[in-house]
Amino acid sequence: MSMQAGIWHFDHAPVDPSQILAFEQSLAQHGPDGRGEHAEDGLTLLYRAYYVTAEDSLEVQPIHSRDGNRVLWDGRLDNQEELLLALDSRSVDLPTDAELAAAAFDHWGTDCFRRLIGDWAMTVWDRRRRRLILARDYIGIRKLYYLRTPKSLFWSTNLTTLVLHSGEEFALCDEYFAGYFVSHPEPQLTPYAEIQAVPPGSYVEVDTHRLRIQRYWSFAHQRPIRYKSDAEYEEHFRYFLRQSLRHRMRTNYPIQADLSGGLDSSSIVCIAYDLINRGEANALINTLSYYSLDEPGGDERPYYEAIEAHIGKTGTHLQMSKSRLGLVPLPAERFSPLPGSFNSTLQHELRVSDATAAQSNRVHLAGLGGDELLGGVQNPVPQLATSLWTLHLPTYWEQIQAWSLQRKVPIWTLLGRSVLELMPLTVRAKLDATAEVSTWLQPEFAKRYDARERSLSAVRTWQDYLPGPNSPNSAYLTLASTLQNRPLSITGVDGRLTLPYYDRDLVAFLFAIPEEQLLRAKQRRSLMRRALKGIVPDVVLFRKTKWLGKREIALELIDSAAALESLLPKSAIGERYIDVTQVLKDIERLRQGKEAPVVLLHGVLGACYWLMQRNMPMQLANLRGVNTTPVSEKEDTQCNTRAHSHPPHIPSIG
């Protein structure tokens, strides 16, 4: 997973060599295997190589395509054979993913993006039309950020590159923080008003006069899948999960696989070893596991050791313990472009790096997405609402009785919730008690950025403002927002991350099957547990609880409460977004051992520390006071701030 960046001056002015050097140096640690550069008439393309497959070492980027385009590619293609057949005569001598992607653009233009399956980010310089195109995979596994000014365009797969080396200063993006404090920021936003991410499943087309965003991927019109028996769903699920892992195990280097003892990571490891044992994959896998003796339920050793016994290999074990220093900011020489990182985050990354350095891992398999996609969170209301909307009344009655017994709530309560779920989002936001926003938010800020709606749906699409079940695209883009806004690695290991549960074919299958396959009143994670019987040891497959680590967060916050009390009243976070008085009350509740929103407190402290970073190039005049002009009303801004804008915040597919 390599790195890319570029600078384009619309007036053809030469790019400053010192800025090119700064860009390249910021990418170098992420791409140690080689470099590439292309310069012409006010444009510079930069590439740093990070080899994962045998073919990667054959690449010379930027690619010079047959049609004269210049292409930067960062990622992995999973459907090479399909593309080669479709390209036919153009497919001669295309040994690498990058060359195949470049040929696909030559042949299909922007229509190629929907055909490229895998984790990827792509830049195309169309020389004939003098336009630049930035594109990302369907859900945004690979990052790609851009900054457009009146005279220039800067872009990079590394957000830090743009923040520290573009030569610009930035204002806070209010809409980003509306999502940050309520649910998740929308996936195209960053905390910087002027910098955006290429939206998932979209491309950004830029010329000297305009910038246009176009979606190429949508789940809106996907056909449902219906089988006669549970066994057929189970077989199909296994097929797609195995296929997903085969694609991600296409590497000549060792693989690091998380093994937490939970169902998601354990399933990945067990299936990966099953593929190896059957001769369907050839890879060296090193597992990494954590346990805590400080946290109730934190001793995960019985679970991940059962997996190790099953696969016949012991991995690396790290004991987690509460930091004695509490939550303190990053050291001055380190920089995090997104809020949420602490010195303890850095120390954890360094500890993992030291423990696994000798393994030379270049791919990181993680179980993120399993909870969200496979029924890890037991909320029966969307399922009930779908049955009611489609008038499957016998099924609805059977389901509502089963869930009433399982959740120990009256049938009438579930009936009311399922009817409310079918209301347009604006109505639900007014009537649904679960849409209550935190008393922490300043009322004007909460109202301006529709905090109640955000609490129900992190990303809203036009379907959400119509009656009916939840929009599949809203669910898909909300998944993308959780990926986009995970705190970025401080030591630069994000490029190794690959997520089997977010495989496009697997997600499409899970979105198309009946919800009852995933979530049943008498069996949490029903499809997964049925399908993986005999593949994952029963002690893990049927475990009921999982360590979450909230007690450790609470203890760290108690140690750091004085810092939060001191920082928040003087910070732009407190002045602009947060009701400081309410936060201070919750801090005192935490000290007294009472219930308090520790995750939100953790996020507020992380945002305050983020603004304190020594190198943060923010316009301080724009950080003070809640009554400042919304970012969207400032000239030349890129922040997608549209208070009360309906419908969608991400362009519809065309």
62-76, 382-396, 565-579, 590-604: which has the minimum mean pLDDT?
Answer: 590-604
Mean of all residue pLDDT scores within the chain: 88
Question: What are the percentages of helix, strand and coil residues in the chain, rounded to 5?
Answer: 45, 15, 40
Tokens of 224: 């449902």
144-148, 494-498, 549-553: which has the minimum mean pLDDT?
Answer: 549-553
pLDDT of residue 387: 92
Rounded distance between C-alpha atoms, residue 534 and residue 370, angstroms: 19
The 10s digit of each residue's pLDDT in 82-97 is 999 998 866 557 789 9
Give me the DSSP letters along 510-530.
Answer: HHHS-HHHH-BTTBTTHHHHH
Q: Which of 192, 196, 149, 147 has its CA nearest to residue 171?
A: 192
Q: Which of 367, 152, 142 has its CA nearest to residue 244?
A: 367
**In the predicted structure, residue 368 carries a pLDDT above the cut 80:** yes
Longest Cα–Cα distance of the chain, Å, equals 72
225-229, 325-329, 505-509: which has the minimum mean pLDDT?
Answer: 325-329
Q: Which of 146, 177, 140, 174 has its CA nearest to residue 161?
A: 146
Q: Which of 246, 281, 197, 248 has its CA nearest to residue 76?
A: 248
- Per-residue confidence band for 600, with pLDDT thresholds at 50, 70 and 90: confident
- Per-residue confidence band for 126, with pLDDT thresholds at 50, 70 and 90: very high
pLDDT of residue 16: 96
Give me the DSSP letters along 72-124.
Answer: EEEEEES-HHHHHHHHGGGGTT--SHHHHHHHHHHHHGGGGGGG--EEEEEEE
345 against 553, higher pLDDT:
345
Q: Which of 96, 142, 84 has its CA nearest to residue 118?
A: 142
Can you tell me which residue has the tokens 């067990």?
270
Beta strands in 457-501, from DSSP E residues, in sequence order: 497-498
Q: Backbone phi, then psi, for 80, in 5-degree steps?
A: -60, -45
The 10s digit of each residue's pLDDT in 432-466 is 887 777 788 999 999 999 999 998 888 888 888 98
Rg (CA), the chain: 25
Question: Which domains does the chain carry?
Answer: 3-168 (3.60.20.10), 230-374+482-541 (3.40.50.620), 550-623 (no CATH)
H/E element, 165: helix 159-165
Q: Which of 354, 303, 299 has its CA nearest to residue 537?
A: 303
**In the predicted structure, residue 654 carries a pLDDT above the cut 50:** no
Contact yes or no for 215/201 (Cβ under 8 A): yes
33-47, 237-251, 421-435: which has the minimum mean pLDDT?
Answer: 421-435
Residue type (1 letter), 180: Y
Burial class (CB in 10 A: 0-12, 13-18, 19+), 282: exposed
Tokens of 546: 């999982």
Residue type (1 letter), 546: K
